[in-house]
Chains A and B, each alone.
Chain A
Amino acid sequence: MDMLKFIAKRLLYLVVMLLGVATLVFILTKMIPGNPVTAHLSQRALNDPEVVAAFTAKHGLDQPYIVQYFYHIRNLLQLDLGTSIRTNVPVLDELMRAFPATIELALFAIVMAAVFGIFFGIISAIKRNSIVDQIVRAISVTGVSIPSFWFALLVMFLLYYKLGWFPGPGRLSIAFSAPAHVTGMYVIDSLLEGSLAKAWDAFMHLVLPGSVLAAFTMGLITRTTRSNLLDVMSMDYIRTARAKGLSQSKLITRHALGNALIPVLTVIGLGLGNLLGGMVLVETIFNWPGVGQFAYQSVMSNDYPAIIGVSLLVALNYMVINTIVDILYGVIDPRVRCS
């Protein structure tokens, strides 16, 4: 019953927040200088009042802002995100096209970041102030501070161009045609199609962009895991457990790690939310047709239905992820559930 109440409250909060985001983004897009007519129509077309009139009428831009706003909110309540001014395609369709590519890459990156980040964090904490700790800390600081576009170009240049260890940009090699759309995630769709070679090719295409995206979050996770584990390890109950004669590995896995991982979950959640918003530069360099590229092009052309659509998607991502993280807190630490 408590859980149902919790979910209902969250859903209500979600609707209010999404409407708030839509309102805020609508106001902001209208406050930015410039307009979609200039951004979308060519220099020639702008000279023709008939073309300008047809364009503004088609996209409802000839209406007063307040009318545009109410139309937009009315459509949103009917789960209609409107039509992209730039592509003339429903925004929902555009997001359904771009989002699976981003999800696939983001999930790969976050799994990689979490696995390596927690692993390095534990090692670093156990071997505190040793050479291993120094190396791990150097790696995590590098991961956090290295500019992603530069790192992307570096790994592409080295691991694809010079060494040829990994495939180049894109989601699949030229030799393969895209799998039939089921989830939009090429690895899964290729497996569903029964093509292992294609699935492997799609997976290998995830490695370089996924590693670049994972670097930042991995650095944060490593540092958070290390510092939290060290804090927990200095607590009285750990000292008591150690006095009972428990081995170091049992101490960490049975008593310390659970508590230390709670803040790490928050970092993972925020990292995933961040990744699901799309990464323009990395997507551009790796020719990855995700939400980041769509968002960038929408902003550049003042395509406000698309901008609002992306904003709602990002907000929704964070809401869903935060809810999942809250639930996972309870799974890892029963005291959270009780409270």
Chain B
Amino acid sequence: MKKRILALLLAGVMALGLCACGGGADEGGEASAPAEGGNVVAIAMGSGFDTMDPGYCYEKYPALVINACYETLFKFYSNDGAAEPCLADTYEFSADNMTLTITLRDSTFASGNPVTSEDVKFSLERVKNLKGNPSFITDTIASIDTPDEKTVVLNLTQPDSAILSKLTYSAMAILDSKVVIENGGTCAEDASTADTAQSYLDTTSAGSGMYVMTSYKPDEEIVMEKNPNYSGEATNVDKYVIKIQPDANTQMMTLSGGDIDIAMNLTKDTFAEVEGKDGIVTEAVASKTVSFIMMNMDEQYGGPVSDPLVQQAIRKAVDYAGIQAICGEGTTTPYSLIQTGFMGAKGERSTDYTNVEEAKALLAEAGYADGFEIDLTVCDLAMEGILLSDLAQKVKDDLAQIGITVNIVPQPWAAGYGDAYRDGTLGFTVMYWGIDYNDPNVQLEFMPGASVGLRAGWTAEMDPDLAALYNQAMEATDNDARTAVLEQIQDGMYENGPFVMIAQAPVYLGYNERLTGVEISDPYVVDVTLINVAQ
């Protein structure tokens, strides 16, 4: 018996030895040649999502897949552009801006079914009634009429200046209603409990986009192949293999090694590693994700930072240039509430804005000439790979210059921080805000009386003039009027209020030079329907 055990052990050693010596590089070489014909592009992207059902999609990365496999009524064809018709052919607002009438262009789902107004009604009502994370996007849609197969009428609850942008959102993707209903889908009012189509939509897509999702393995990979029934002009990429690689170092190595073509989650350090390498193109631009300091206006929670003079002192003491250096190339500091890249944005806050002496004087005027001690709560999240705790440390150092002693209190998001943040009981914190739909109106939530404003105890009554601008901005459908209101709001919050916008996070992208049309996209991460392989 013992002899046999020993023999087995020795055989195992030899087998493993042979395996370890067996040319890994050669095998790697064999594998790197595409086994199937056509242009295959491999993408590495981060994790943090759990479904590919558009009705539940809210996180950042599914937008890449949804945009490729589904079409929406409107779409952003460039990152800084306006929403343009996609499945919509023409559209018209009523005189009171309470109705939006859309006629559909001819298009076909991957199943071969034509796209009709009933599909649009089904898709939008399903999102609303699923009562999931993205349901809020339909809040201003009161009802949907379908007078004929090609006409959709959206009846709104109020004029909505962002409605076209909202209709570009992933959750507003138009689904093949016949296929989805066959697989357990419903748009009825009880959809939150009755709809069972998620499991189907997690295995394949049911849209009219350029690609069809043929495989989704959570935390592993997503495969998309050309939609043979696509009605638009397709690019020359036949297949996308998306590898879920949360680690930036892994993405850097797989991009450099040629195993992937696009790395979407490089960090400052890994970006520097691939920058300038042969065959790799790099891009670093500011995203619309913004980090901010929040100081609670309610003295019960904010203590000294609830004083507007102290808030202004902190605004003056923050070293914006230093924060940009921490975040890395491509970081900007927005002028005020609205990030650069959005319609109506007033650009950047000058790094000369920092003035420690002025900050000290403001603090003395507030009655804190000798400074004070305060807790700054920070959670375990990261903004585009930048730890909020790193930003909190920088704020601590900056405020020490004016005599404020900051004690950093770490608290996990899921273990209390999230509740306190939502309930408005956090006194002083550094947090970040990622946009959901691509429109400046998402920033208006920071205004007095709006959802994020209330988290800082900033009620509409505290600043009625500013609060009044909220509704004006929400309802101004004329672009010039809208821009004027947005500029007024930014000026109104430049040196006022409980928020200090400290950095607009950079996004680092690296891709193989054989690709063209690769660009960072705020709504779609990267718009894969614009990518071609250079011939």
A interface list, Cβ under 8 A from B: 32-35, 38-39, 41-48, 50-51, 54-55, 57-58, 86-89, 97-98, 111-112, 115-116, 118-119, 153, 156-157, 159-161, 163-171, 173-178, 197, 200-201, 203-204, 207, 253-254, 257-258, 261, 284-287, 289, 293-294, 297, 300-302, 331-332
Contact = CB atoms under 8 A, between A and B. Distances in A.
A155 to B, nearest CB: 11
Give the most central of B5, B56, B260: most A CB within 10 Å. Answer: B5
B436 A44 contact: yes
Contacts of A166: 24-25, 28
Contacts, number: 199
Interface stretch (B228-236, B296-304, B412-420, B497-505): B412-420
Contacts of A285: 247, 249-250
B147 interface: no
Interface in B20-57: 20, 22-25, 27-28, 30-36, 40, 42, 47, 50-51, 56
Contact of B221 (A89, A115, A170, A257): A170
B28 A167 contact: yes
Contacts of A293: 219
Nearest to B419: A38
B328 to A, nearest CB: 20
Nearest to B190: A54
Interface string B162-190: 00000000000000000000000000000
B6 A253 contact: yes
B133 A41 contact: yes
B413 A39 contact: yes
Contacts of A174: 31-32, 34, 40, 42, 241, 243, 259-260
A39 B9 CA distance: 48
**Main DSSP-derived SS at the A contact region:** helix
Contact of B31 (A165, A201, A203): A201
B12 A111 contact: yes
A166 B24 CA distance: 4
Nearest to B246: A284
A53 B1 CA distance: 64
Given A34-B419, A39-B418, A257-B2, A287 B243 contact: yes
28 contacts: A32-B415, A41-B133, A42-B436, A45-B132, A45-B135, A87-B50, A87-B218, A115-B12, A116-B16, A156-B249, A159-B24, A160-B253, A163-B25, A165-B24, A168-B253, A168-B257, A173-B259, A174-B32, A175-B31, A175-B34, A176-B35, A178-B217, A200-B27, A204-B22, A204-B24, A294-B219, A297-B219, A301-B414
Contacts of A111: 12, 16
A45 B128 CA distance: 12
Interface residues of B, number: 74
Given A173-B259, A253-B3, A285-B247, A97 B218 contact: yes
B418 A34 contact: yes
B258 to A, nearest CB: 10
A115 B419 contact: no
Contacts of A287: 220, 243-247, 250
Contacts of B136: 44-45, 47-48, 51
A251 B91 CA distance: 90
B49 to A, nearest CB: 10
A116 B27 contact: no
A87 B414 contact: no
A302 B414 contact: yes
Give the most central of B12, B19, B250: most A CB within 10 Å. Answer: B250
Interface stretch (B104-112, B192-200, B383-391): B192-200
Contacts of A45: 58, 132-133, 135-136
A57 B272 CA distance: 48
Given A51-B132, A156-B253, A33 B415 contact: yes
Given A51-B132, A51-B135, A201-B31, 14 more contacts: A34-B415, A47-B451, A55-B131, A57-B193, A88-B50, A97-B218, A153-B249, A167-B31, A175-B32, A177-B223, A284-B246, A287-B245, A294-B219, A300-B414
Contacts of A46: 422
Contacts of B244: 287, 289
A204 B23 CA distance: 10
B249 A178 contact: no
A125 B12 CA distance: 20
Contacts of A169: 243, 245, 250, 254
Contact of B28 (A157, A173, A178): A173
B142 interface: no
A44 B132 CA distance: 10
Nearest to A33: B416
A212 to B, nearest CB: 13
A184 to B, nearest CB: 11
A167 B131 contact: no
Contacts of B326: none
Nearest to B59: A42
B359 to A, nearest CB: 30
B325 interface: no
| 4 A-B pairs with least C-beta separation | A173-B31, A54-B131, A38-B418, A33-B416
Contacts of B245: 169, 287
B414 A44 contact: no
Nearest to B135: A51
A204 B422 contact: no
Contacts of A43: 422, 451-452
A289 B58 contact: no
B151 interface: no
A44 B27 contact: no
Interface in B363-396: none
Given A161-B257, A168-B254, A289-B217, A38 B56 contact: no
Nearest to A46: B422
Given A33-B415, A41-B133, A167-B27, A88 B253 contact: no
